[in-house]
């Protein structure tokens, strides 16, 4: 691959190029001569092309202007004057990623596609949306905020606030972690943009005016303030020709230099206290957060950045790291704070650490414990092996080709974006090989790490100690304040003002139901869909008497190894604690080594060990299942022998006698689960609604769903009793003895040239392994098919609603039709009714083969009863209305797009392996694809009438304790989380 681009568009000036072998790409930087816009191109031999345009957005209040503008900009533009081009393109595309997001100092619009026609289509829409947005006032009212009467046509009724972002942020700020971060930022950054909530504080969002939004757009959404990034095999000059033709030629340079300012520094530590909302049912005992933070140097100083990253890794990377060890084992709190680590995306970096689950008066003791630990490490130094392990982890992370959650190219872009936003050097940031060489020299000095601790932390007076205490009354006071504000507004309204509010909502309602001409937008057709799924090759071999599957994939010098064990038929008592077995197994001691030694061992040789159970329904019967336990790891090829030994020893010799460690681990997991509820409330509600549909669905609810979260809360309280802890340890040990005696197999993924070495190492390590039990019986689950109607209350200002209907398992022909039905309903009914008209952040429907159920859901929803009615209305709409075949085609494209999602080389191998293991062969998936492509309107109406019958509906809701009356009206059993 050439280090310089073969061509550059005439409108762009080439600045430099650099090959980055560890990432298998060349990176080029250009400047648009007329406007000054920067373009970074990551040239790679990858057909999944990625685009991103980012604007520096630096709000100086918490009205959410950047966030609301991000939403509103996607609601129609000059060339595409339809009210919803973004969501319309999602369903007219084969994209592997489409989104937009607002961070603390920039707004970005990324997408990715493997189809060149699709990429060009999306590029046209994105560029027009960003640089020529219509910013209709009604879109601002819908996406941002507006006043409305509670009784829509009654000007004498009470006022309320509506708006998608308004409700989104109500949901977001219900999270204790979000409130903790925002509170800390407001003190750590007293004068700069980071002081404010860029997403918007719900109480401040109504202060934003439409004129303010348009003014912000004019100054911030201009090419002179833009950064373009592209990745893939499309040449840079071809991208630039499109940029120029579609947008840039119409602009001149704007005299603007937006940049976050340097923060004013404290001369002494600041100690502050704030509060966050908790549900009254939860109480306030031991729910205080205590976090320390220091403001460091500029993130654009790459030498300082990498040193800070190394220091953070040395102190906090794993349980053998000195600061994390102190936090995990401290009796002052239940677990380390979710904010522990280095924040390096802002203009100035910050280092944070602390505890959650503390007593209200613990701040001084926590601060002293942290400072004492840091002083001790500075005085005594750090073991050289620990520092080497931290560097090893940096290299492992750098070399891995990821891309299973979202496209690899986008991950690389995001890694360099904040540096580009602050006018740093993203090329040097991504090329860390020279940095690793320098750091290896630096750490030869035993004072290197101690000096970093002193200079960056101990001698740094810009320190904040934040105590965040629980308060059961905040939600009520916030609600009262909002009511009082709305009452005051209403009292001040003239008749003309009331008429204007009514008129705006009526005009918006009319706009929301108008049918736009979709052909204004470009599209992909079914003829553009790839006919075949990719064919992944594997070899089926034997290793130490057990089956082994070998996949040769381009893994950039890494190897992936997994031990896959049939889950034994555990009794109910053992099955109930299986999640805690898999969560703890890789975190414990092995043989004569304690857990801290094992953590250090893992860090030195691999990317850690992961253990999980997977229980899935069979394709043809949701009442039957297959269950496995997987132990996995990854390593650089140079370390693969040590990784193999580590996995083998952990599998056979893990210890379940470290009671204090297990209790600490479970308290940490419980804290993380609790804090994640409002972020994944829709998934929990879906899980709840379908929990009676199949044994695997019930198990999911009991393991990782709401019941699992509640079970763990109860367990962690009980484990304070020694006899309860001893009983748990005995159960975990009994599970493990059955696991190591159960049939096992191996999965190995690496590069072809390393095949024989990897296979030989695995065979040598496992050749003397104890034989498995020939009579071992696999897990058997009791069949279940029943209706669930429950509302679970927690601390949230918004609702998460779900409804589920029994349907068919994944192997049934109607599974394909029902899968298309989910997208059909979402695209053409639910999005409008629940998001646009109802104000929820999101809504949708899907078909799940594992539970053999069709599920509706809403996310961060201001409504509850009305949304459940909208789910019913969607069914009536499908059955009783006439529908355009175009809507079916769009829904089909959505299902196909999800099948063809981005996946890493190693991820593709794992996906192929586990699909086959659970009976979802490539032939079965191709048959499903063929059925999807053949779905018609008549098919959709048939399955809708056949399966989605009101009397069969299950309901699952995650809400708050004020919904008792609605729960009674709906016949829902109320449970407190």
The answer to the question of residue 783 being in a domain is: no
> Whole-angstrom Cα distance, residue 331 to residue 566?
38
Tokens of residue 396, six digits = 């492992």
Burial class (CB in 10 A: 0-12, 13-18, 19+), 743: middle
The domain of 110 spans: 12-144+164-258
The answer to the question of residue 157 being in a domain is: no
End of a domain among 204, 231, 258? 258
Give pLDDT, residue 6.
Answer: 60
Query: What's 527's DSSP letter?
Result: G
Count of Cβ atoms closer than 10 Å to residue 55 Cβ:
26
> Whole-angstrom Cα distance, residue 325 to residue 377?
12
Same-domain check for residues 747 and 670: yes
Same-domain check for residues 108 and 214: yes
The residues, any chain, with a CB within 8 Å of residue 64's CB and separated by 6 or more, are 144, 165, 169, 197, 198, 199, 200, 201, 204, 205, 208
Count of Cβ atoms closer than 10 Å to residue 396 Cβ:
19
Same-domain check for residues 751 and 854: no
The answer to the question of residue 597 being in a domain is: yes
Are the CB atoms for 173 and 179 separated by under 8 Å? yes
**Residue 230 phi/psi, 5° resolution?**
-135, 155
Number of domains in the chain: 4
Strand 558-566 to 744-750 pairing = antiparallel
DSSP 375-414: HHHHHH---HHHHHHHHHHHHHHHH----SSS-HHHHHHH
Q: How does 101-134 read in b/e, with b if 16+ C-beta sit within 10 Å?
A: ebbbbbbbbbbbbbbeebbbbbbbbbbbbbbbbb
What CATH number is given to the structural domain containing 198?
A: 3.30.830.10
Same-domain check for residues 306 and 416: yes
> Whole-angstrom Cα distance, residue 735 to residue 747?
23
Give pLDDT, residue 549.
Answer: 97
The answer to the question of residue 476 being in a domain is: no
Q: Which helix (H) or strand (E) holds 789?
A: strand 789-793
DSSP 916-977: HHTT--HHHHHHHHHHHHT--HHHHHHHHHHH--GGG-EEEEEE-GGGHHHHHHHTPEEEE-
Same-domain check for residues 906 and 879: yes
> Whole-angstrom Cα distance, residue 856 to residue 793?
19
Strand 226-232 to 38-43 pairing = parallel
Give pLDDT, residue 2.
Answer: 44
Q: Mean pLDDT for each 10-residue chunk of the chain (977 residues)?
A: 66 94 92 97 95 97 97 96 91 93 96 95 97 97 96 92 94 92 97 97 97 96 98 97 98 93 96 92 87 97 94 96 96 95 96 96 97 97 93 90 87 94 93 90 94 97 97 92 96 95 95 89 90 90 95 94 96 96 97 96 96 97 97 96 97 96 95 90 97 97 96 94 96 96 96 96 93 85 96 93 98 98 96 94 96 97 96 97 94 93 91 95 94 97 97 96 92 94
With both helix axes pointing from N to C terminus, report the angle between 595-605 and 640-653 in degrees, rounded to the nearest 10.
Answer: 150
- Beta bridge partners of residue 386, listed in sequence order: none
Same-domain check for residues 832 and 745: no
Q: Which helix (H) or strand (E) holds 805?
A: strand 800-806
**Residue 489 phi/psi, 5° resolution?**
-60, -45
Tokens of residue 769, six digits = 């392994």
Strand 25-32 to 38-43 pairing = antiparallel
Same-domain check for residues 303 and 441: yes
- Beta bridge partners of residue 792, listed in sequence order: 958, 975
Are the CB atoms for 518 and 886 separated by under 8 Å? yes
For the chain, what's the residue count?
977
The answer to the question of residue 153 being in a domain is: no
Same-domain check for residues 555 and 618: yes
Residue 848, CB-side half-sphere exposure with 13 Å CA sphere? 25
Are the CB atoms for 111 and 353 separated by under 8 Å? no
Same-domain check for residues 230 and 302: no
The answer to the question of residue 860 being in a domain is: yes
Give pLDDT, residue 532.
Answer: 84
Same-domain check for residues 412 and 334: yes
Same-domain check for residues 35 and 91: yes
End of a domain among 447, 471, 495? 471
Cα dihedral 784, 790, 795, 800 in deg (nearest 10): 80
**Residue 945 phi/psi, 5° resolution?**
-70, -35
User: How many Å from the N-terminal Cα to the C-terminal Cα in the chain?
Assistant: 56
Angle at 853 between CA 851 and CA 856, to 5 degrees: 125
Give pLDDT, residue 515.
Answer: 86
> Whole-angstrom Cα distance, residue 664 to residue 179?
24
The answer to the question of residue 508 being in a domain is: no
Question: What is the longest distance spanned by two Cα atoms in the chain?
Answer: 87
The residues, any chain, with a CB within 8 Å of residue 397's CB and separated by 6 or more, are 607
Same-domain check for residues 200 and 170: yes
Cα→Cα distances 569→573, 776, 782, 847, Å? 11, 8, 12, 29
End of a domain among 218, 233, 258? 258
Provide the phi-psi class of 838: left if phi over 0, else alpha when psi is between -120 and 50, else beta: alpha
Give pLDDT, residue 5.
Answer: 61
> Whole-angstrom Cα distance, residue 959 to residue 270?
36
Instruction: Sheet with 546-552: list strands edge to edge.
Output: 539-543, 546-552, 744-750, 558-566, 621-636, 609-618
The answer to the question of residue 158 being in a domain is: no
């Amino acid at each position: 691959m050439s280090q310089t681009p073969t061509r550059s568009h005439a409108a762009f000036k080439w600045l430099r190029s650099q090959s980055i072998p560890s990432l298998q790409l060349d990176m080029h930087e250009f400047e648009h001569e007329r406007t000054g816009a920067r373009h970074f191109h990551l040239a790679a031999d990858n057909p999944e092309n990625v685009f991103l345009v980012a604007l520096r957005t630096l709000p100086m209040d918490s009205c959410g202007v950047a966030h609301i503008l991000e939403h509103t900009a996607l609601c129609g533009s000059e060339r595409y004057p339809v009210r919803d081009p973004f969501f319309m393109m999602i369903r007219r595309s084969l994209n592997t990623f489409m989104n937009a997001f607002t961070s603390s100092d920039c707004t970005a619009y990324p997408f990715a596609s493997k189809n060149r026609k699709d990429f060009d289509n999306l590029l046209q829409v994105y560029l027009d949306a960003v640089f020529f947005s219509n910013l209709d006032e009604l879109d601002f009212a819908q996406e941002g905020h507006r006043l409305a009467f509670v009784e829509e046509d009654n000007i004498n009724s009470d006022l309320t606030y509506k708006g998608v972002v308004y409700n989104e942020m109500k949901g977001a700020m219900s999270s204790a972690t979000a409130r903790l971060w925002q509170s800390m930022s407001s003190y750590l950054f007293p004068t700069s943009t980071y002081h404010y909530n860029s997403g918007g504080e719900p109480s401040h969002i109504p202060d934003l005016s439409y004129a303010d939004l348009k003014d912000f757009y004019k100054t911030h959404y201009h090419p002179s303030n833009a950064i373009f990034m592209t990745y893939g095999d499309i040449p840079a000059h071809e991208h630039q020709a499109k940029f120029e033709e579609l947008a840039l030629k119409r602009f001149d340079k704007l005299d603007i230099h937006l940049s976050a300012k340097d923060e004013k520094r404290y001369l002494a530590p600041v100690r502050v206290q704030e509060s966050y909302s908790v549900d009254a049912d939860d109480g306030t005992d031991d729910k205080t957060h205590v976090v320390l933070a220091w403001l460091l140097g500029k993130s654009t100083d790459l030498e300082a950045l990498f040193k800070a990253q190394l220091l953070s890794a040395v102190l906090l990377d794993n349980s053998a790291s000195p600061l994390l060890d102190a936090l995990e084992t401290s009796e002052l709190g239940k677990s380390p704070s979710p904010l522990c680590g280095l924040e390096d995306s802002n203009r100035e970096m910050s280092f944070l650490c602390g505890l959650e689950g503390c007593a209200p008066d613990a701040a001084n003791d926590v601060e002293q414990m942290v400072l004492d630990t840091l002083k001790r490490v500075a005085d005594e130094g750090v073991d050289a092996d620990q520092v080497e392990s931290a560097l090893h982890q940096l290299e492992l992370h750098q070399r891995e080709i990821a891309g299973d959650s979202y496209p690899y190219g986008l991950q690389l872009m995001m890694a360099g974006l904040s540096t580009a936003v602050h006018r740093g050097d993203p090329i040097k940031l991504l090329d860390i090989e020279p940095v690793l060489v320098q750091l290896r020299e630096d750490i030869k000095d035993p004072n290197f790490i101690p000096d970093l601790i002193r200079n960056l932390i101990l001698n740094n007076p810009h320190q904040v100690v934040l105590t965040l205490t629980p308060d059961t009354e905040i939600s009520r006071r916030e609600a009262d304040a909002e009511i009082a504000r709305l009452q005051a507004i209403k009292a001040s309204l003239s008749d003309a003002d009331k008429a204007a509010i009514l008129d705006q909502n009526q005009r918006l309602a009319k706009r929301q139901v108008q049918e736009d001409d979709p052909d204004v937008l470009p599209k992909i057709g079914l003829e553009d869909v790839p006919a075949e799924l990719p064919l992944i090759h594997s070899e089926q071999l034997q290793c130490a008497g057990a089956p082994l599957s070998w996949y040769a994939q381009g893994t950039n010098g890494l190897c992936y190894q997994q031990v896959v064990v049939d889950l034994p038929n555990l009794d109910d008592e053992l099955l109930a604690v299986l999640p805690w077995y898999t969560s703890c197994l890789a975190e414990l001691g092995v043989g004569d080594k304690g857990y801290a030694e094992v953590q250090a061992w893992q860090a030195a040789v691999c990317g850690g060990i992961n253990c999980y159970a997977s229980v899935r329904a069979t394709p043809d019967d949701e009442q039957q299942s297959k269950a496995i336990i997987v132990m996995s790891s990854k390593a650089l090829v140079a370390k693969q022998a040590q990784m193999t030994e580590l996995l083998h020893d952990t599998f056979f010799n893990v210890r379940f006698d470290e009671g204090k460690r297990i209790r600490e681990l479970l308290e940490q997991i419980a804290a993380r689960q609790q804090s994640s509820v409002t972020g994944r409330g829709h998934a929990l509600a879906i899980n709840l609604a379908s929990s009676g549909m199949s044994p695997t669905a019930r198990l999911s609810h009991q393991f990782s769903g709401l019941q699992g979260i509640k079970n763990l809360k109860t367990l962690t309280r009980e484990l304070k009793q020694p006899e309860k802890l001893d009983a748990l340890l005995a159960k975990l040990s009994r599970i493990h003895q059955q696991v190591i005696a159960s049939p096992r197999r191996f999965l190995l993924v690496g590069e072809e040239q390393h095949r024989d070495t990897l296979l030989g190492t695995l065979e040598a390590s496992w050749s003397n392994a104890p034989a498995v039990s020939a009579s071992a019986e696999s897990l058997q689950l009791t069949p279940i098919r029943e209706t669930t109607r429950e509302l679970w209350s927690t601390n949230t200002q918004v609702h998460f609603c779900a409804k589920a209907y029994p349907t068919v398992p994944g192997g049934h022909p109607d599974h394909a039709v029902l899968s298309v039905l989910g997208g059909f309903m979402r695209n053409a009914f639910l999005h409008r009714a629940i998001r646009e008209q109802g104000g929820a952040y999101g809504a949708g429907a899907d078909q799940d083969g594992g539970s053999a159920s069709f599920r509706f859901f809403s996310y961060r929803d201001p409504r509850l009863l009305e949304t459940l009615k909208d789910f019913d209305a969607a069914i009536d709409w499908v059955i009783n209305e006439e529908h355009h075949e175009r809507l079916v085609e769009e829904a089909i494209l959505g299902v196909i797009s999800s099948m063809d999602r981005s996946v890493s080389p190693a991820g593709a191998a794992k996906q192929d392996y586990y699909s086959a293991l659970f009976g979802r062969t490539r032939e079965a998936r191709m048959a499903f694809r063929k059925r999807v492509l053949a779905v018609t309107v008549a098919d959709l109406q048939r399955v809708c009438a056949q399966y989605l019958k009101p009397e069969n509906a299950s309901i699952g809701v995650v809400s708050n304790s004020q919904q008792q009356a609605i729960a009674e009206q709906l016949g829902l059993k109320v449970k407190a989380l």
